[in-house]
Structure 1
Amino acid sequence: MRDGFYLSTYLNPAGIHRVLNVRMRHDHNIALWRKSGTQVELVRHWELERLSGQKMHRTPFTTLDDERTLIDDLLAPVGIGMSDLVEIWGTPDIDTTDDYHLVREVPDIAFHSVAHLYSAVLLDSEVFFDGTIVGLAVDRGPDILLDRRMRDLWFAGCVVREGGVEFFPVESPGSLYCEGRDYFGMREGSLMALATASKASGECDRDAIMAEFRFDGRDVIDQSRRAFDKVCDQVRQTLTTDPNFTDAEALASAVMKEVQAISVMVMRRNIDTILRRHEIDPTRAHLALAGGYALNCPTNSLLMAEYGFRSLLAPPSVGDDGQAVGIGLAAFHKKLGERFHFRYPGPYLGRVDNDLDAALAQFDGHIDAVDDYDDELAVQDLRSGPIAWFHGASEVGPRALGNRSLLADPTSEETKDRLNEIKRREWWRPVAPTVLEEQLAEWFIDARPSPYMLETFLIRPQVRARIPAVAHLDYSARIQSVSASQNPALHRLIAAFHRQTGVPMLCNTSLNDKGEPIIDTMAETLAFCLRRRVPVAYLNGKRVALRNFETFPEGDPWPRNSRPFAHVPDSVAAEIRWQANPHGLTDLHLFLYQYDLDLSDRIDIRTAEGAEAVRRELDARLAANPTLRKSAERTMERNAVHFSAYGWHPLIPHRSN
């Protein structure tokens, strides 16, 4: 491989996909790499939701020119453009080569899942090439843009021994949580929090569920739905409620307790099988986790404690927001064909905003004072109420890791309520602590560094009363550890708070309003503070005090750059349709054609013969399957809603309880 810059992308194809509301992927992201000899560096990792304001960004670019312009804008601060890249990987319409993936090498398992694995198992090349790793990629299901067809096996596991990788299928409990999301109309993270917040409970026959169902192939959604329905029915019959919660919340909490227990059993079944078949001593191996289910901190910590793995390998962007990283690492491993050196640089890989004057100028009349950072004053601000904390490059992943955070005093019972009020969240939502790494052992039982907030640990009994804002019902907490080398500015702030209060941690929740992605710029931060009445923001080491909150409109979040996705002029849409479909197939035909990658690879509808062949084939399918038309039209309508949601992301339940 040549030295230079490489780009890996995880995007929907542009153009006709936007016009027809065709969605193949969500959580779009782009990773920039630099190769020099045997050294590989992850330079930047951008999540499009931060740029566009669309939660779990999924909307395709309107045109290829829009796509290339935005990528060039992202690359400009590094001093390069797309023309300077050696290769581009990951999205068919801008790929410059197709020899980078492992679709042919791993023919039976979805490459989407293989890419998830690489984002975790190759976090540290020394561990990868010198050690033993047990890897699991566990989410709901794959996209098929690179596979070009639906694989029989959706979820990948692997064993890595000194750089050699053996892949095999595993089960994933991710779809069980998605069933809960669709059934209760509440996101997976909220359901996880509700399960531990309420004392409501019920029983189901967990062993019978495990014996009847497997969660590993293309029927996993059907299997998960049937299993979830059985859990619901049994829990409803044995439900014990909690007077502090509504009946609906109590049912959801009780059901998700059982779903969580069954999910852990699925993960144990995976690991027990791998350890037995591959004769692995877990105390001599590392555990690597990726996929959306790897955000389940209680499961991660339980597996580490039960099996005694040497370490947990998981990136901060374990979900599809890390696919570009996994695609890139898989490409380097395949194409280099020998040992190379790579270490994940940490989560602060997004955009940098240093133009404070430009941000302040947009809020004339609302700026009370601008001063340099001071330890004593910062602690006073924290004791008075939450502060907005904006520093350096934005972190990647769905959780605030100290560069785009709302920080607050964990010693006050009222802090959690105030944070949930600011963010318009349910009163029972927990708040995570960000903790000085050197103080972990003093405050948490059997704790180890967790820089990406992917594990939970029990608070020691003797200190529980001192940090009521961060304790779950069982006195566990989802921690982020912070070292001086990892995040010097945040470490300094927490250390100052520790000196004054004796408590080496702060409450840390993401800097965003309900339904919007984490904030990415200083202007967005100031608008958020004014809209939600947060009186002080720290912006790259400057203390900004705000005023006149009552005159600032309480409307939608500050607009971001949605133009390349949201706005499709009629003339542009007509041109895109004509170029892709010159022989007049209907939108329904076009939609089905774009989703059927095997069909679109075989037949070119830009010829009259091809268009007629596709029309005949799809008409035959529609006649043979009366539900196909309704299903496709419903998907088009749902995607249209999601594609146009910027700033406030709607949850559209698939099911009704």
Structure 2
Amino acid sequence: MRDGYYLSSYLTTPGLHRLAMVSYRHDNNISLWHKQGSQIQLLGHWEFERMSGLKHHRTPFLTMEDLHSFVNGLLSAFGLSLDDMTEVWGTPGLATTNDYHFVEEYPELSFHSIAHLYSAMLLDSETFFDGDILGLAVDGGPDRMLDQQYKRYWFSGAVSRRGVVETFPVASPGLLYSTAKNRFKMREGTLMALATATTAAGRCDRESILDTFDFTGLAALEGAPRAFEEIVAQVRATASTDPDFTEEESFVSAAMKEIQAISVMVMERSIEAALERYDLDPAETHLALAGGYALNCPTNSHLMAKYGFRGLLAPPCVDDGGQAVGIGLAAFHKKTGGERFTFRFPGAYLGRQDDDLDGALAEFGEYVADVSDLDPDQAVRDILAEPIAWFHGRSEIGPRALGNRSLLGDPTSRAAKDALNGFKLREWWRPVAPVVLEEHLESWFEDSRPSPYMLETFTIREERRGQIPAVAHLDYSARVQSLNAEQNPALHALLTAFHRHTGVPMLCNTSLNDKGEPIIDTIRETINFCLRRRIGIAYVNGRRVAFRNFDSYPAKGPYPRTRQPFTAIPDTRAKAVQAELNPYGLPELYLHVLYLDLALSGKFDLRTEEGAAEAFEAVDSRLRTDPSLRQAAERSMRRAEHRFTAFGPDALLNLELGAVRQITGA
């Protein structure tokens, strides 16, 4: 395998399907790598939602030229372009080779799930090549860009013994949580928080649910909603209420307690089957977790504690935002023939850097009262007075703030928690997470271990609980991020100063973003947020910025991000692409049905009269045969268009999976 720069990507190929509101992937992202001999480095990782502002970005580019231009703009931070890449992987049309994936090697397992596995299992090459790893990739379902179809099993487990990987299908609770998100109209994180926020409880027959419904693949599209309805019905008949919450909040909390318990049992069954089948000793085995469900911190910590695994392997971008990382690591393992190489995940701070504080200050000058250098003691006084915005260096990757794009507050103050929830327009009962000096972790949290990416939950020690009420759940657990000086020197210095002043080695840490908005990526976005939410102080790349004139600030929403290649497509460009790729005018609804079914769309060349006519007849025949298909396609188009263009909390619902399945015949 040649030395040089490599790019792995998880994007939807550009084209006419953009205008037909069809995308095959969400959480689009790319990773830049460098190989020198046996050394592999991950230099950068970019999640497109940070640039576009579209949460879980799924909107495709219209043309390949747009894609090239945008990616080259990101690579330019390293003085590189696509022309400098030795190989490009992951996205058909952009990829320069086809020998990097495992599509043919795993005919019944989705490559999407395999990539998830590698994103966790190969975080540290020494652990991978010298030890035993049990990996589980558990999310809500795969994409189809490389597989071209829905394979039998969507979710993969794996055992790696000294770098030799054997895979097997597993079940995933991901679709059960996705169903709850859609039905309760709350995001998964909110549902998890509500489950532990109340004393409300109900009962259902958990074993019967697990034995009755299938959570392994396509069957889960029907099984998860049916299981949800059964759980809800049983809980509704048995649920108690919490007087501090509304009746509906109590019910949702009770239902989510049962859904969480069943989800944990799904994971336990997979682990116990693998431990027995492969004769693994958990004390000598690392547990590797990836996929969106791996954001479920209580599950992660429960599994670690129950089975006593040697360690947890999981990247900060465990969801689809880490697919490019997994595609890259899988490719290196395959293309090196399984031979040993050296790689260590460099930490979370791999996104973009914004150093243009002077330009931002000039733009917002009338709202800036003072600018000075960071003084840790002054910063502590600021935090004790009210929460601050903290912007530093390159952005962290993944869906959780890890200290470079954060709102920081005093964990000893309930008022600080209330203020943070007010800034984020979150429910009053939402706790906030602590970022904790790693060297003090054990003295504040029971059975704790380093948790650099906020992927585990630990219980606050009984004697400490009264000291940090802002970060405690009802059961006195907290979703912890541990931090040492090597990971983030600037934030470590601030935590050390706060500990020196207060005796408490932690701060409240929540993401710097508006409700339904991706984490903020630039200084201008930060200042806009502070002015709209009346946050008095921001620390930006080592400078203290104090604000004023909040009442006269006119903006009502987030600072606009990069929308031109995604949501702002001029009519002239859209018409030009239609004229080139759909000159015979196949209707949008027909295009939507055609492109959702990858097997069907690949059969026709719409640029020819004959191909367009054959495509029209193929779709029209389906619509005539199944009268409900037209309504399903219309629903799918409406939902997809909203997801392509909407900003904020209204854009968070899932795609119409039932309609997609009906259209594709899956």
> In 1, distance between residues paired with 2:376 and 2:509?
18
Which residue number corresponds to residue 513 of structure 1?
A: 514
Contact in 2 for aligned 1:562/1:646 (Cα 8 Å):
no
Comparing 142-151 and 16-25, the one that deviates more: 16-25
SS state at 1:538 partner: strand
Which residue number corresponds to residue 39 of structure 1?
A: 39
The AA in structure 1 aligned to 2:254 is: A
Comparing 22-31 and 296-305, the one that deviates more: 22-31
Which residue number corresponds to residue 197 of structure 2?
A: 197
> In 2, distance between residues paired with 1:606 and 1:510?
47
> In 1, distance between residues paired with 2:598 and 2:605?
12
Contact in 2 for aligned 1:352/1:394 (Cα 8 Å):
yes
**Identity across matched positions, percent:** 59
> In 1, distance between residues paired with 2:649 and 2:565?
18
2:329 matches 1:335: no
Comparing 336-345 and 294-303, the one that deviates more: 336-345
> In 2, distance between residues paired with 1:632 and 1:100?
34
SS state at 1:557 partner: coil
Report the count of equivalent residues.
Answer: 655
Which residue number corresponds to residue 631 of structure 1?
A: 632
SS state at 2:566 partner: helix
> In 1, distance between residues paired with 2:283 and 2:547?
53
Which residue number corresponds to residue 463 of structure 1?
A: 464
> In 1, distance between residues paired with 2:593 and 2:415?
53
Deviation of the 1:607 alpha carbon:
2.8
The AA in structure 1 aligned to 2:360 is: A
SS state at 1:473 partner: coil
Which residue number corresponds to residue 107 of structure 1?
A: 107
Contact in 2 for aligned 1:132/1:285 (Cα 8 Å):
yes
> In 1, distance between residues paired with 2:17 and 2:36?
37
SS state at 2:365 partner: coil
Contact in 2 for aligned 1:171/1:215 (Cα 8 Å):
yes
Q: String of CA shifts for 1:309-350, please: whole Å, max 9, x gaps.
A: 100000000000000111111111111112111110000000
> In 2, distance between residues paired with 1:223 and 1:653?
17
Comparing 645-654 and 503-512, the one that deviates more: 645-654
Which residue number corresponds to residue 239 of structure 1?
A: 239
Deviation of the 1:271 alpha carbon:
0.3
Change (3 A) 1:431 1:336: same
SS state at 2:189 partner: helix
Which residue number corresponds to residue 293 of structure 1?
A: 293
SS state at 1:565 partner: coil
Which residue number corresponds to residue 83 of structure 1?
A: 83
Deviation of the 1:654 alpha carbon:
7.8
Which residue number corresponds to residue 662 of structure 2?
A: none
> In 1, distance between residues paired with 2:4 and 2:79?
13
Deviation of the 1:248 alpha carbon:
1.4
Which residue number corresponds to residue 428 of structure 1?
A: 429
> In 1, distance between residues paired with 2:618 and 2:561?
42
Which residue number corresponds to residue 540 of structure 1?
A: 541
Change (3 A) 1:631 1:242: same
Deviation of the 1:638 alpha carbon:
0.9
Contact in 1 for aligned 2:113/2:154 (Cα 8 Å):
yes
The AA in structure 2 aligned to 1:148 is: Q
The AA in structure 1 aligned to 2:314 is: A
The AA in structure 2 aligned to 1:583 is: Y
> In 2, distance between residues paired with 1:95 and 1:191?
38
Deviation of the 1:587 alpha carbon:
1.7
> In 2, distance between residues paired with 1:303 and 1:280?
15
SS state at 1:328 partner: helix
2:611 matches 1:610: yes
Which residue number corresponds to residue 550 of structure 2?
A: 549
2:15 matches 1:15: yes
Which residue number corresponds to residue 642 of structure 2?
A: 641
Which residue number corresponds to residue 27 of structure 1?
A: 27
Deviation of the 1:574 alpha carbon:
1.4
Deviation of the 1:53 alpha carbon:
1.0
Which residue number corresponds to residue 152 of structure 2?
A: 152
Which residue number corresponds to residue 5 of structure 1?
A: 5
Which residue number corresponds to residue 255 of structure 1?
A: 255
Comparing 231-240 and 639-648, the one that deviates more: 639-648
Deviation of the 1:613 alpha carbon:
2.5
> In 2, distance between residues paired with 1:568 and 1:208?
51
> In 1, distance between residues paired with 2:647 and 2:65?
21
The AA in structure 1 aligned to 2:422 is: E
Contact in 2 for aligned 1:52/1:646 (Cα 8 Å):
no
Contact in 1 for aligned 2:639/2:655 (Cα 8 Å):
no
Change (3 A) 1:581 1:312: same
> In 2, distance between residues paired with 1:649 and 1:556?
14
**Mapping of 1:514-593 within 5 angstroms?**
514-593=515-594
SS state at 1:564 partner: coil
Deviation of the 1:653 alpha carbon:
7.2
Which residue number corresponds to residue 71 of structure 2?
A: 71
> In 2, distance between residues paired with 1:654 and 1:195?
25
> In 2, distance between residues paired with 1:526 and 1:570?
33
2:385 matches 1:384: yes
For structure 2, the 5+ residue unaligned runs are 657-666
Q: String of CA shifts for 1:169-208, please: whole Å, max 9, x gaps.
A: 0000011111110111001000000000011111111111
> In 2, distance between residues paired with 1:93 and 1:103?
17
The AA in structure 2 aligned to 1:71 is: V
Contact in 2 for aligned 1:390/1:403 (Cα 8 Å):
yes
> In 1, distance between residues paired with 2:654 and 2:79?
44
TM-score, normalised by the number of residues in structure 1: 0.98
Which residue number corresponds to residue 135 of structure 1?
A: 135
Comparing 448-457 and 197-206, the one that deviates more: 197-206
Deviation of the 1:300 alpha carbon:
0.2
> In 2, distance between residues paired with 1:608 and 1:219?
39
Which residue number corresponds to residue 356 of structure 1?
A: 357
> In 2, distance between residues paired with 1:69 and 1:310?
45
Deviation of the 1:589 alpha carbon:
2.0
> In 1, distance between residues paired with 2:197 and 2:316?
24
Contact in 2 for aligned 1:185/1:653 (Cα 8 Å):
no
Change (3 A) 1:316 1:178: same
Comparing 464-473 and 590-599, the one that deviates more: 590-599
2:179 matches 1:179: yes
Deviation of the 1:83 alpha carbon:
1.0
Deviation of the 1:650 alpha carbon:
2.4
Contact in 2 for aligned 1:559/1:647 (Cα 8 Å):
no
Change (3 A) 1:136 1:579: same
Deviation of the 1:606 alpha carbon:
2.6
Contact in 1 for aligned 2:636/2:655 (Cα 8 Å):
no
> In 1, distance between residues paired with 2:366 and 2:597?
55
Q: String of CA shifts for 1:568-614, please: whole Å, max 9, x gaps.
A: 11121112122222333222222122111112233333333332322
Which residue number corresponds to residue 413 of structure 1?
A: 414
Contact in 2 for aligned 1:204/1:235 (Cα 8 Å):
yes
The AA in structure 1 aligned to 2:290 is: A
Pairwise CA RMSD? 1.2
Change (3 A) 1:554 1:608: closer
Deviation of the 1:463 alpha carbon:
0.7
Which residue number corresponds to residue 372 of structure 1?
A: 373
The AA in structure 1 aligned to 2:46 is: W
SS state at 1:398 partner: coil
Comparing 285-294 and 50-59, the one that deviates more: 50-59
Deviation of the 1:159 alpha carbon:
0.4
Which residue number corresponds to residue 316 of structure 2?
A: 316
The AA in structure 2 aligned to 1:557 is: P
SS state at 1:135 partner: strand
SS state at 1:448 partner: coil
Which residue number corresponds to residue 161 of structure 1?
A: 161
For structure 1, the 5+ residue unaligned runs are none
The AA in structure 1 aligned to 2:185 is: G
Which residue number corresponds to residue 493 of structure 1?
A: 494
Deviation of the 1:648 alpha carbon:
5.3
TM-score, normalised by the number of residues in structure 2: 0.97
> In 2, distance between residues paired with 1:222 and 1:343?
40
Change (3 A) 1:224 1:480: same
The AA in structure 2 aligned to 1:303 is: L
Which residue number corresponds to residue 659 of structure 2?
A: none
SS state at 2:43 partner: strand
Deviation of the 1:649 alpha carbon:
4.7
Contact in 2 for aligned 1:557/1:647 (Cα 8 Å):
no
> In 2, distance between residues paired with 1:125 and 1:649?
41
